[in-house]
């Protein structure tokens, strides 16, 4: 019997690499893995639905949940997670010494709907007393001019968002003091080359992020895996097939990270790092599946609603194919 041919847009991650190299094959699927950076994958999937399955921004996916047609449906697999305290950059001369100093400032976000800033704004509101509507947001390209929101937004009037000029970039504006701070996913060039004029808000971010996990038990989710709804509805079995394959690929990565015969990643103290992470976060420190992630998803969806990106407070189960919510047990 011939297999179903599916295209899969996803970056080259260790936890998905077995699908890319073909050593893990989803049941019944001939998978064409298209290795692309996330910005390209998101743009092409959200604007043109070019792929059958794709890695997708959790925030942009949640925005499309409010469209009548709901063009995508997800499975609870999360190829990207990131503690984002390290991703708040400030101009050294802006007078920002602590988080509350952000109130009233001009803050860049490449896109207001971008998942990393959603988490940053939510964490700053919940844990540092910086209301989401207490700053003015400036959106546009971080390193290249002309970036726009991938999905059109309809925000409440208390959220102040402005587009930067057609020739401006957020990285340069931060360096020049035209904005005071930047919430982003990619490290801006002006932090690396700005001679100290751009710095992190939390310079001891690793300890801050470890403390955050100990307090909340949340490892923020950035991306999920989305299927085109028409493809899924015609072949509902693919949800479980893809999830099984992605879980197996991740299992192999867990093993690789703790292999001591030879280091499989170019980190000298990888073994020590893995052991420390397991002590602090548990053996399954990058969990897939619905149940283990429900609390984190619920917090994210609350942030999404509070920040005007969701028209109503979504329930976590609404995001996912029903076939992917439970694991088969023997």
Question: With 90 as the cut, is the pLDDT of residue 1 above it?
Answer: no
CB of 218 within 8 A of CB of 297? Answer: no
Do residues 104 and 295 lie in contact, with contact meaning Cβ atoms separated by under 8 Å?
no
The bridge status of strand 72-81 relative to strand 221-228 is antiparallel
Q: Domains of the chain: which residue ranges?
A: 4-82+220-312, 85-216
Work out the average pLDDT over 260-285.
98
**Contact present, 231 and 238 (Cβ < 8 Å):** yes
Model pLDDT for residues 209-222, shown as the tens digit of each residue: 999 999 999 999 99
Q: Distance of CA 242 to CAs 84, 272, 287, 319, 321, Å?
A: 28, 32, 16, 16, 12
Whole-number pLDDT of residue 326: 85
Give the pLDDT score at 327: 77
152 pLDDT band, cuts 50/70/90, is confident
Give the closest residue to 47 by CA, choosing from 150, 152, 141. 150
Q: What is the pLDDT of residues 235-270, one digit of tens each?
A: 999 999 999 999 999 999 999 999 999 999 999 999
CA of residue 211 relative to chain centroid, distance: 20
Residue 253 has a CB neighbour count (10 Å cut-off) of 18
Average pLDDT of 182-208? 97
Please tell me the CATH code under which domain 4-82+220-312 is placed: 3.40.190.10
Same fold, 4-82+220-312 and 85-216: yes
Average the pLDDT over 36-64 and give the result: 97
Report the top-level CATH class of 85-216: alpha beta
Query: Quick check: 87 pLDDT over 90?
Result: yes
| Mean pLDDT, residues 20-27 taken together | 98
Q: Is the pLDDT of residue 151 over 90?
A: no
pLDDT of residue 303: 98
Cα distances (angstroms) measured from residue 76 to each of 80, 103, 242, 295: 12, 35, 11, 13
Enter the DSSP assignment of 146: T
Q: Which residues touch 72 (CB under 8 Å, ≥6 apart)?
A: 45, 56, 61, 64, 226, 227, 228, 229
CA–CA separation, 287 vs 284, rounded Å?
6
pLDDT of residue 227: 98
| Ranges 150-154, 164-168, 226-230, 262-266: which has the least confidence | 150-154
- What is the number of H-type helices and E-type strands within the chain? 11, 11
Separation of first and last alpha carbons in the chain: 27
pTM of the model: 0.96
CA distances in angstroms from 66 to 29, 179, 318, listed in the order given: 30, 32, 11
The residue-averaged pLDDT of 51-63 equals 98
In degrees rounded to 5, what are phi and psi of residue 53?
A: -140, 145
Q: How confident is the model at residue 329 (pLDDT cuts 50, 70, 90)?
A: low
């Amino acid at each position: 019997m011939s297999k179903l041919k599916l295209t899969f847009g996803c970056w080259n991650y260790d936890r998905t690499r077995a699908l890319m190299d073909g050593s893990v094959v989803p049941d019944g699927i001939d998978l064409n893995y298209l290795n692309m950076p996330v910005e390209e994958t998101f743009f092409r999937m959200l604007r043109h639905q070019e792929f059958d399955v794709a890695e997708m921004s959790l925030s942009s996916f949640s925005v499309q949940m409010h469209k009548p047609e709901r063009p995508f449906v997800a499975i609870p697999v999360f190829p990207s997670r990131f503690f984002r305290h390290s991703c708040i950059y400030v101009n050294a001369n802006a007078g920002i010494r602590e988080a509350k100093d952000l109130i009233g400032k001009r803050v860049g976000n490449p896109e207001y709907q971008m998942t990393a800033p959603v988490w940053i704004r939510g964490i700053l509101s919940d844990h540092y007393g910086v209301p989401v509507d207490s700053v003015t947001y400036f959106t546009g390209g971080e390193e290249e001019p002309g970036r726009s929101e991938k999905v059109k937004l309809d925000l409440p009037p208390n959220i102040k968002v402005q587009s930067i000029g057609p020739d401006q970039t957020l990285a340069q504006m931060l360096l020049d003091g035209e904005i005071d701070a930047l919430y982003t996913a990619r490290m801006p060039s002006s932090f690396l080359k700005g001679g100290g004029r751009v710095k992190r808000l939390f310079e001891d971010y690793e300890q801050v992020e470890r403390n955050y996990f100990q307090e909340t038990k949340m490892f923020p989710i950035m991306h999920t895996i989305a299927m085109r709804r028409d493809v899924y509805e015609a072949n509902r079995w693919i949800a479980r097939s893809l999830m099984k394959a992605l879980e197996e690929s991740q299992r192999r990565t867990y093993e690789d990270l703790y292999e001591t015969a030879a280091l499989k990643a170019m980190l000298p103290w990888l073994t020590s790092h893995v052991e420390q992470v397991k002590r602090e976060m548990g053996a399954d420190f990058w969990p897939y599946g619905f149940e283990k992630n429900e609390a984190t998803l619920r917090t994210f969806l609350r942030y999404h609603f509070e920040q005007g990106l969701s028209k109503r407070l979504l329930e976590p189960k609404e995001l996912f194919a029903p076939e992917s919510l439970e694991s088969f047990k023997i």
